[in-house]
Amino acid sequence: MSTDTATDVTFVPVGAVSDLTRGEGRAYAVGGDQIAVFLLGDGTVRATAAVCPHRGGPIADGQSDDTKVMCPLHQYVYSFADGACNDPSIPTLAVYPARVVDGVIEVAVS
């Protein structure tokens, strides 16, 4: 565990970036939360809640690109930037700061 002193955010290691395939996601348990981590085409990572707020779909199994992920159950699309859904009537998907440090994925927790 490490703390970014500039933002006072605690990052928790979740696994090796080599465990991910570009363009795909994987779910991890972080504290008491299930978090989906995606490896983007440029090698960076994004993290969201692993459960779709619409009907509980497995977000890590969704298709993604460098800016968004689509829930595999009902094809709602969520932005990695802010978790907003393409359908404004659907709640926002939680997003988490994530980074790779020395080959290890770290996700910020509150």
Residues 35-89 have pLDDT tens digits of 999 999 999 999 999 999 998 899 999 999 999 999 999 999 999 999 999 999 9
Q: What is the 3-state secondary structure (H, E, C) of 37-72?
A: EEECCCCCEEEEECECCCCCCEHHHCEECCCEEECC
Q: Phi and psi for 33 in degrees, rounded to 5?
A: -110, 150
Q: CB of 50 within 8 A of CB of 37?
A: no
Closest CA to 71 of 80, 79, 60, 62: 62
Confidence of residue 3 (pLDDT cuts 50, 70, 90): low
- CATH number of this structure's domain 2-109: 2.102.10.10
